[in-house]
Structure 1
């Protein structure tokens, strides 16, 4: 399923009109219609705004599946191993991996995984 069809599916499940969702996501109704009809691909910022408005994560918009079905890290050890294998992330700073508790490590790694997935859609050919 496409991103546009997924947005439409989740919007209709929540009994929202295009006008309702566009207002919630702070985008125009015509732009939302174009996205739903696959005339445009939304930017990551717009995709995040739509997902937040629908109270779902972006993976659900991209894949059309519940986040529980999407790959996620189950243990802090598995998550930490993934994080440490990302040299650009580790070198970027802004956080201290040594002071994070297990829940923060899992949240961070799962969010990193979701963001990498988002980026992959932008550059798919």
Structure 2
């Protein structure tokens, strides 16, 4: 099995369409399609991004050795945040949770506004 085939296998294991997978890696669906079909070799930046975003085991991806995922190690900053949150009382934790939920909703609204702006832009040029 080639690394190109393993990339497709990995994407399918996540139950992601090519478009959603490409979006998550900030690449075009066409580029991903070319990689998966073996028409193009994945770039170093693509492989690096795949590892950073999904924690895929590079030894498995490139050579087919080992497990699909690397052992997850929590980054120091993330661990420090977890420890800070664990030291809070329930009321404080609830406030942080609410802020995070608000941020998620804001990001989703911002994404929709950008999509609408793109649609309006295409309508103006038509």
What TM-score, normalized to structure 2? 0.48
What TM-score, normalized to structure 1? 0.49
Query: Which structure has the larger Rg?
Result: 2
More helix by share: 2
